[in-house]
C-alpha cells in the first residue's frame, strides 16, 4: 500500500518517487524523439516549447532513478516492509508520471505560447503512451531490485549459518538418553 491508513505518504516508498522522476522524464524526452525524427526539427521543437531545461536534468534524474532502485534493493536486503507488488508499483509510477508529464507540458507550452500549436496533441499522445511503457519498465525494475535484495539477504543468512563451527550444542539442555535405553531388549523381572 502506497498510502497508510491515515492517508499520508509512506516514507518507505521514496524509492518509487525517485524512480518516477527518472522514468517519467525519460519518457517525456522519448516522446519528442518519437514525434520528431530529425535532430534539427526536434531541437527546434524542444526550444520552442520551453524544454531547454531538460539537458540540465539528465544526470540528476538518472541519479534519482538509480537511487530509487538502490532503495528498493535496500528494502529487500533488510525486509523493512512487505514486498511491493508489481501492479501496485505500476499504478503508482503511472499515476505520478502521467500527472507530472501532463502538468509540465501544460506549464511549458502555456508559458511559451505553444499550448495550441499544431503538434501539441501528437506530442501529448506519444508522450502519454510512452509514460505507460516507461512506468511498466520502472515497476519491473523496482520489483526485481527488491527481489534481488531478498535473495541476497536469504543467501547471506544461509551462508552465515553454515560457515561457522558450533562450539556448543544447539540446545543447552543435556541430551536425554531415555530413547537409547528403550532400544535395548528388556530383561525379565528379577
- Count CB neighbours of 26 within 10 A: 20
**Local structure of residue 12 (DSSP, 8 states):** G
pLDDT at residue 9 in the model: 52
pLDDT at residue 7 in the model: 44
pLDDT at residue 172 in the model: 56
DSSP assignments along 140-183, one per residue: HHHHHHHHHHHHHHHHHHHHHHHSS--SS-S-SSPPP-HHHHHH
pLDDT of 23 strictly over 60: yes
Give the model's confidence band at 168: pLDDT under 50 very low, under 70 low, under 90 confident, else very high: low
Give the mean pLDDT of 111-119.
83
- Give pTM, 2 decimals: 0.73
Contact 32, 46 (CB under 8 A): yes
Give the model's confidence band at 2: pLDDT under 50 very low, under 70 low, under 90 confident, else very high: low
Q: What rounded mean pLDDT belongs to the chain?
A: 82
Grid cell digits, residue 3 = 498510502
At 43-95, the pLDDT tens digits run 888 888 888 888 888 899 999 999 999 999 988 888 766 788 889 999 999 99
User: Cα(first)–Cα(last) distance of the chain, in Å?
Assistant: 73
| CA atoms of 157 and 164, how far apart (whole Å) | 12
Amino acid at each position: 500500500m502506497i498510502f497508510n491508513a491515515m492517508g499520508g505518504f509512506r516514507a518507505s516508498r521514496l524509492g518509487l518517487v525517485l524512480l518516477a522522476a527518472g522514468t517519467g522524464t525519460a519518457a517525456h524526452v522519448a516522446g519528442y524523439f518519437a514525434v520528431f525524427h530529425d535532430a534539427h526539427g526536434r531541437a527546434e521543437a524542444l526550444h520552442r516549447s520551453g524544454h531547454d531545461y531538460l539537458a540540465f536534468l539528465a544526470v540528476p534524474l538518472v541519479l534519482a532513478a538509480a537511487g530509487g532502485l538502490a532503495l528498493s534493493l535496500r528494502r529487500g536486503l533488510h525486509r523493512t516492509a512487505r514486498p511491493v507488488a508489481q501492479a501496485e508499483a505500476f499504478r503508482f509510477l503511472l499515476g505520478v508520471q502521467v500527472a507530472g508529464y501532463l502538468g509540465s507540458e501544460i506549464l511549458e507550452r502555456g508559458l511559451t505560447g505553444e499550448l495550441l500549436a499544431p503538434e501539441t496533441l501528437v506530442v501529448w499522445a506519444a508522450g502519454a503512451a510512452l509514460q505507460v511503457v516507461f512506468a511498466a519498465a520502472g515497476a519491473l525494475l523496482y520489483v526485481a531490485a527488491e527481489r534481488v535484495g531478498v535473495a541476497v539477504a536469504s543467501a547471506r543468512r544461509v551462508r552465515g549459518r553454515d560457515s561457522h563451527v558450533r562450539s556448543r550444542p544447539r540446545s543447552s539442555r543435556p541430551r536425554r538418553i531415555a530413547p537409547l535405553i528403550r532400544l535395548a531388549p528388556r530383561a525379565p523381572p528379577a
